[in-house]
């Protein structure tokens, strides 16, 4: 941003910071975005979506990992990914030195990383008709078929993928912890938070956390660096909000994912907000604004409130944030402050406005209990 813009942001933030309690972080997956977010006043990264690191040229690496048929092939793919991820995280730790960085383990809807099943079927059928079908193509089609889902957003995503592909979350955790250890050895201050996506039951988190802790033990003995880090979870399924008391036994922080929580609470597909019925609902006034844009306080908001209360009842110091789109929506920011969240996280460009709103909200509710 221009110097003038930076000064303007600074001015806004000074006003906003008067009586601030709730922090504003940014959602960012690259070193460049993280540096930009920091210039805009972000007080940390609230969500680094690691699946975004594999779009474009690197997509094929994840595809090969998902489709690996032997343990050896899978381990080879993981070994190839490890140094790439280490470098990704090193850049973000450099950009955010001293500020908290929440890195979320892989959460791709599977179809984004697999060949399109229709195209593949047509290609194989044409090849077969010409008598040119290759064994490899047939095997690929079978593998893709086996993984094909009617509802990928409700399918093999997030923690489920981590549980199904041995070594995947360990590889990512190792890359995070090795990058952080190197950063600390250079004199930096990495503040690492490893986040597990789409948890619906504490048992899922416990299994992954155990693996992360084992990796951390290895990294510590290999590097000699003692790192502090937190392991936490997204709360983005109604079941997670309702069982937040159990989940808080294992989670050191919660981040509410209001995008998926809106989808799963209403049963509306977040990918089809242009659906015909949706505009009909808006016209009929069933809701005034899309619940994906402005937080539905009675449903989704109530689940956030319940999750926060039940989580803190078990672990009083539980760190709470939100990283869905609503984290940057001014009206929703006031609600999150009221519920007692420690931070909201939004896209870098929305940080200045969110900080202004967080400052205002804190000013208005200083007497609220948390």
Measured from the CB atom, is 205 or 219 closer to ligand PEP?
A: 205
Residue 320: strand pairing partners: 254
Minimum CB separation of residue 211 from Mg ion in Å reads 21
Residue 194: strand pairing partners: 103, 231
* Binding flag, residue 257, Mg ion (CB under 5 A): yes
Number of residues located near ligand PEP, criterion CB under 6 A: 10
Minimum CB separation of residue 198 from ligand PEP in Å reads 8
Q: Which of Mg ion, ligand PEP, none interacts with 342 (beta carbon under 5 to 8 A by kind)?
A: none
Start-to-end CA span in the chain (Å): 36
Which residues 183-242 are close enough to bind ligand PEP by CB under 6 A? 236
3-class SS of residue 135: helix
* Binding flag, residue 257, ligand PEP (CB under 6 A): yes
Binding-site string for ligand PEP from residue 23 to residue 52, where x marks contact by CB under 6 A and - marks none: ------------------------x-x---
Q: At what angle are helices 168-185 and 71-95 packed, to 10 degrees? A: 30
Which residues 49-88 are close enough to bind ligand PEP by CB under 6 A? 49
Measured from the CB atom, is 104 or 360 closer to ligand PEP?
A: 104
* Binding flag, residue 236, Mg ion (CB under 5 A): yes
Minimum CB separation of residue 271 from ligand PEP in Å reads 11
Q: Output the CA–CA distances (angstroms, integers) from residue 130 to 3, 125, 234, 274, in the order listed.
A: 63, 9, 50, 41
Which residues 327-366 are close enough to bind ligand PEP by CB under 6 A? none
**CA distance linking residue 61 with residue 41, whole number of Å:** 35
Long-range contacts of 138-147 (CB under 8 A, 24+ apart): 139/69, 140/67, 140/115, 143/67, 143/69, 144/67, 144/114, 144/115, 144/117, 144/120, 145/117, 147/66, 147/67, 147/110, 147/114
**CA distance linking residue 191 with residue 228, whole number of Å:** 7
* Binding flag, residue 260, ligand PEP (CB under 6 A): yes
Measured from the CB atom, is 257 or 352 closer to ligand PEP?
A: 257
Minimum CB separation of residue 281 from Mg ion in Å reads 22
Measured from the CB atom, is 216 or 308 closer to ligand PEP?
A: 308
Are 89 and 176 a contacting pair, CB within 8 Å? yes
Measured from the CB atom, is 197 or 359 closer to Mg ion?
A: 197
Task: Give the CA radius of gyration of the chain.
Answer: 22
In the list 259, 290, 294, 365, the residue contacting ligand PEP (rule: CB under 6 A) is 259
**CA distance linking residue 327 with residue 344, whole number of Å:** 5
Q: What DSSP state is assigned to residue 336?
A: H
Measured from the CB atom, is 67 or 256 closer to ligand PEP?
A: 256
**CA distance linking residue 77 with residue 168, whole number of Å:** 10
DSSP characters over 246-269: HHHHH-SEEEE-HHHHHHHHHT--
Binding-site string for Mg ion from residue 260 to residue 299, where x marks contact by CB under 5 A and - marks none: x---------------------------------------
Measured from the CB atom, is 121 or 259 closer to ligand PEP?
A: 259
Are 340 and 320 a contacting pair, CB within 8 Å? yes
* Binding flag, residue 258, ligand PEP (CB under 6 A): yes
* Binding flag, residue 88, Mg ion (CB under 5 A): no
Minimum CB separation of residue 364 from ligand PEP in Å reads 26
Binding-site ranges for Mg ion (CB under 5 A): 236, 257, 260
Binding-site ranges for ligand PEP (CB under 6 A): 47, 49, 107, 236, 257-260, 323-324
């Amino acid at each position: 941003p221009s110097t003038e813009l930076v000064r303007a942001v600074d001015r806004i933030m000074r006003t906003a910071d008067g009586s601030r309690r709730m922090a504003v972080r940014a959602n960012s997956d690259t070193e460049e975005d993280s540096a930009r977010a920091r210039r805009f006043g972000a007080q940390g990264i609230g969500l680094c979506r690691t699946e975004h690191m594999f779009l474009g040229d690197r997509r094929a690496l994840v595809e090969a990992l998902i489709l690996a048929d032997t343990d050896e092939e899978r381990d080879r793919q993981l070994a190839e990914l490890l140094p790439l991820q280490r470098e990704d995280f090193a850049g973000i730790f450099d950009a955010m030195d001293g500020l908290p960085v929440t890195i979320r383990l892989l959460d791709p809807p599977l179809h984004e990383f697999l060949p399109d099943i229709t195209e593949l079927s047509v290609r194989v059928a044409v090849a077969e008709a010409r008598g040119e079908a290759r064994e490899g193509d047939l095997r690929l089609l079978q593998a893709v078929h086996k993984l094909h889902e009617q509802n990928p957003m409700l399918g093999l995503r997030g923690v489920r993928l981590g549980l199904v592909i041995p070594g995947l979350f360990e590889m990512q955790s190792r890359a995070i912890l090795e990058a952080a250890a190197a950063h600390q050895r250079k004199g930096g201050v990495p503040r690492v938070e490893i986040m597990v996506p789409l948890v619906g039951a504490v048992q899922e988190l416990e299994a992954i956390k155990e693996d992360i802790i084992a990796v951390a033990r290895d990294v510590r003995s290999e590097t000699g660096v003692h790192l502090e880090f937190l392991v936490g979870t997204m709360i983005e399924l109604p079941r997670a909000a309702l069982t937040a008391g159990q989940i808080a036994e294992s989670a050191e922080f919660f981040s509410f994912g209001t995008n998926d929580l809106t989808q799963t609470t209403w049963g509306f597909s977040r990918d089809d907000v242009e659906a015909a019925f949706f505009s009909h609902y808006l016209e009929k006034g069933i809701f005034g604004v899309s619940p994906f844009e402005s937080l539905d306080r009675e449903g989704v908001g109530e689940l956030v409130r319940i999750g926060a209360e039940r989580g803190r009842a078990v672990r009083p110091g539980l760190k709470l944030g939100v990283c869905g789109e609503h984290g940057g929506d001014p009206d929703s920011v006031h609600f999150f402050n009221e519920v007692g969240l420690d931070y909201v996280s939004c896209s870098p460009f929305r940080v200045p406005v969110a900080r202004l709103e967080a400052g205002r909200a804190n000013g208005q509710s200083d007497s609220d209990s948390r």
